[in-house]
Structure 1
Amino acid sequence: MNQVTTIPDPLVWGQGGPVFEVFLEPTCPFSAIAFGKLPSLQKEFGEKGLVLKVWLQSQPWHMFSGIICRAILAASCRADGKASAWAVMEAIYAQRESFEFEHHCSGPNMDVTPNALIERIESVGSVPLKVQFARHDLDREIKRHVKYARQNGIQASPTFMINGIVDPGLGSRDPIGNWVDALRKV
């Protein structure tokens, strides 16, 4: 399954019910908390009870953010698309410190090159990425994520939208029941 698809697989799971959009940065500790709750949320609503959309929100103070976002979107270009992207996100969040600088500006990751970072992501995520990462047309998908976030006034991660409206009352540290209640109110 090392094929390249013609277009990236959208990071969308489920069908029917409310649309829950989550804007995540791959090395943000608060995004990691939110990401960890998504499987429970999906289970609560079932495949036909919720549409979950994940948008990548690159943030420049997370120094590897752009490279890691591109790697996740590269994974979505594989034949198993969004499943590969999910596996990469899951692996990165599980070992977040391996992909982040200490205090956003120091530590052992100061000597990591982009190629070494991609190899590290491939290793922990068990998903080959180099071929897809090098696709020139992948820029379109990255820009699509950025443009959509900007159009919706998204500034930071994680941010949550329900049926196209930002819900500033939801946070990553909220109990999953708060998310469920907000989604059931619509």
Structure 2
Amino acid sequence: MALQPSLRPLIIAGTADAPHTLDIFLDYVCPFSAKLSLAIDSVLVPLLGPGGRYHGKVKAIFRPQVQPWHASSTFVHEAGLAVARAAPESFWSFSLALFKHQGEYFDVPTSTLTPLQIREKLAALAAEVIPVPSSAAGKFADLLVLASSPNGGNAVTDDLKYTIKFSRQNGIHVSPTVLWDGLVANEISSSWGEQEWTDFLLAKVTIE
């Protein structure tokens, strides 16, 4: 599946030239996405990373899945994309932190906050994850500053549009959804652990 160059940090495991691809559509404020993120980090990242059985064979791409019925979904995904630009090496760490704190961005906790206050909370979380000393934290905040025009978005709006259009044209409606080499793998579940992922990859990938 295609991935524009500016979003290369969304490859969270494996090498960019790996022949097989797991496209994993996740929403930061979806509890099932949070559950799957734990398996990704504990199982897939080691398997696809250096020294792993499938290193160079499979890559995993985080596909932001904005779900507008969650009121803060746009804001949290903007934050993820801002980290991808400001501190690409911290994108997955920030994503895990945001999944851990997702309850703070659910509908009720954010219902009394302004958009600026939500972005300030996200900036504080990013500052905890991005290594210091670093200018990246300041760059992160700058990327989320609204344009001077009344409806111009911010510096990551184009990236957000890309991710939303990508989901729409591929018929992705809910999170989590996982594609294997471009086709929906309905059997993959947020409840999968090491055994299920190991069996899946063993059946899909030839190791020479």
TM-score scaled by length of structure 1: 0.84
Report the counterpart of residue 114 of structure 2 in structure 1: 113
Residue by residue, what CA displacement relative to the aligned partner does 1:142-173 show, whole Å, maximum 9, x if unpaired? Answer: 12111221222110000001111110111101
Cα distance in structure 2, aligned partners of 1:151 and 1:8: 18
CA offset digits 1:90-128 (Å, max 9, x no partner): 111111111112xxxxx3421111121112112223243
Q: 1:97 aligns with which of 99, 103, 114?
A: 103
Contact 1:8–1:74 (CA under 8 A) maintained in structure 2: no
Contact preservation (8 Å) 2:143, 2:155: no
Change (3 A) 1:144 1:184: farther
Aligned to 2:71: 63
Separation of aligned partners in 1, 2:75 and 2:188: 28
Alpha-carbon distance in structure 2 between the residues aligned to 1:70 and 1:95: 16
Return the letter of the residue paired with 1:148.
F
**Runs of 5+ consecutive residues of structure 2 not aligned to the other structure:** 131-136, 148-153
- Structure 1 spans left out of the alignment, 5+ residues: 1-5, 102-106
Choose which of 125, 138, 141 in structure 2 pairs with 1:130: 141
Task: Please name the residue that 2:10 is paired with.
Answer: 11
Identity level (%): 25
Contact persistence 1:27–1:99 (CA under 8 A): yes
Distance 2:70 2:160 in 1: 16
Residue identity in the other structure for 1:64: S
Residue 173 of structure 2: SS of its match in structure 1? coil
Do the aligned partners of 1:92 and 1:99 also contact (CA within 8 Å) in 2? no
8 Å CA contact retained: 1:20, 1:162: yes
Q: Which has the larger radius of gyration?
A: 2
